Amino acid sequence: MDAPLVKTEVRGRVALLTLNRPQALNALSNEVIDQLAQAMRDFDADENIGAMVLTGSDKAFAAGADIAAMQGWSYMDVYKQDYLGGNWESLKHIRKPIIAAVAGYALGGGCELAMLCDFIIAAENARFGQPEIKLGVIPGYGGTQRLPRAISKAKAMDLVLTARMMDANEAERAGLVSRVVPLERMLDEAIEAATIIASMSLPSVIMAKECVNMAYEGSLNETLMFERRNFHALFATDDQKEGMKAFVEKRKPDFKHQ
Ligand code: CO8
């Protein structure tokens, strides 16, 4: 049997997903994304999992969409299969938090996949870029939309139009990544962060993720109301009672995730 293109492992309440196509620097083919989407859907539905970490290899998180596969495609080929829709698009509907643990290259679709995750923890050797323009195309998986929201129009234009790469420190200064750590620390750092998230009340974690994402998707008036209504809704959970009672009683909460 062929090795899986996405390896999975469970550590406590955290699912670790590792892109596993080293010979092509984890280039994202439809097959890779199909396996990734299936694994993420399964973990999303698994009540023993509270958060996920997505990573690649030390050399590449993912060096982009699979150029070898795309090179011969016509307009009709990509239009009819709705390339980058389907399972590609489905990843944004995963409700549990996903941390991208990025080492090495995160280019093109690889950078876009990292941005689709909820936040990025980068190793010092990480390099981010949207070099599609060198191939005669443009980013097609959120690069022209998520990058300016993450790092400002000026820097996004710079990266998208010149195809230059940004190192981990520049990416942190620009706000694309939340933490930069030495390579050997990266996975532990991401798993520890995911473990903290997974220890929180799952309904409040999911609502927090939805509310932060709404900040990018609607007008301020709508999204502030969305936030307030979700805040109100959490008062219907047992975990809100437990969390606040535990604070008053000066002890750790015992969340039941309901
Ligand atoms: N697709 C297919 N194969 C790839 C890709 C890729 N994106 N990137 C690397 N590979 C392959 C190489 O062809 C090579 O294979 P082989 O050994 O059989 O020749 C192997 O991986 C190792 O790569 P290199 O020998 O090139 O390794 P280097 O260390 O010399 O260079 C680089 C590393 C700089 C990362 C270089 O490989 C590179 O420039 N890769 C392409 C980067 C790129 O242009 N990415 C954007 C792709 S386009 C894209 O993502 C489209 C976006 C639109 C939608 C996105 C949806 C995901």
Does 170 lie in the same domain as 44?
A: yes
Q: Whose CA is nearest to atom 53 of ligand 1?
A: 140
Q: Residue 254: inside a domain, yes or no? A: no
CATH of the domain at 178: 3.90.226.10
Q: Residue 256: inside a domain, yes or no? A: no
Q: Residue 258: inside a domain, yes or no? A: no
Asked if residue 174 has pLDDT above 90, the reply is yes
Show the ligand 1 pocket: residues with CB < 6 angstroms.
24-25, 27-28, 63-68, 84, 105, 107-109, 112, 131-132, 135, 139-141
Does 126 lie in the same domain as 216?
A: no
Mutate to test the pocket of ligand 1, among 19, 25, 26, 33 (most ligand atoms within 8 A of CB): 25
Range of the domain at 149: 4-196
The string of pLDDT tens digits covering residues 226-252 is: 888 888 888 899 999 999 899 989 999
Residue 128 CA, ligand 1 centroid: distance in Å: 13
pLDDT band at 2 (very low <50, low <70, confident <90, very high): confident
Does 78 lie in the same domain as 204?
A: no
The string of pLDDT tens digits covering residues 107-166 is: 999 999 999 999 999 999 999 999 999 999 999 999 999 999 999 999 999 999 999 999
- Note if 51 is an active site residue: no
The string of pLDDT tens digits covering residues 127-141 is: 999 999 999 999 999
- What's the mean per-residue pLDDT of the chain? 95
CATH of the domain at 239: 1.10.12.10
Does 169 lie in the same domain as 51?
A: yes
- Note if 45 is an active site residue: no
pLDDT recorded at residue 229: 85
Q: Residue 82: inside a domain, yes or no? A: yes
Does 218 lie in the same domain as 109?
A: no
- Note if 132 is an active site residue: yes
Does 240 lie in the same domain as 152?
A: no
Kindly name the residue from 104, 109, 110, 143 that is annotated as catalytic. 109
pLDDT recorded at residue 217: 82
Mutate to test the pocket of ligand 1, among 29, 67, 112 (most ligand atoms within 8 A of CB): 67
Of 89-103, 163-177, 237-251, least confident by mean pLDDT is 237-251
Does 141 lie in the same domain as 118?
A: yes
The string of pLDDT tens digits covering residues 199-230 is: 999 999 999 999 999 988 888 788 888 888 88
- The structural domain count of the chain equals 2
Q: Residue 257: inside a domain, yes or no? A: no
Q: Residue 253: inside a domain, yes or no? A: no
ipTM of the complex: 0.94
Q: Where are the alpha helices (DSSP H) in the chain?
A: 30-45, 67-70, 75-80, 86-90, 109-116, 143-151, 153-162, 168-174, 183-199, 202-217, 220-233, 238-248
Angle at 160 between CA 99 and CA 90, to 5 degrees: 40
Does 85 lie in the same domain as 72?
A: yes
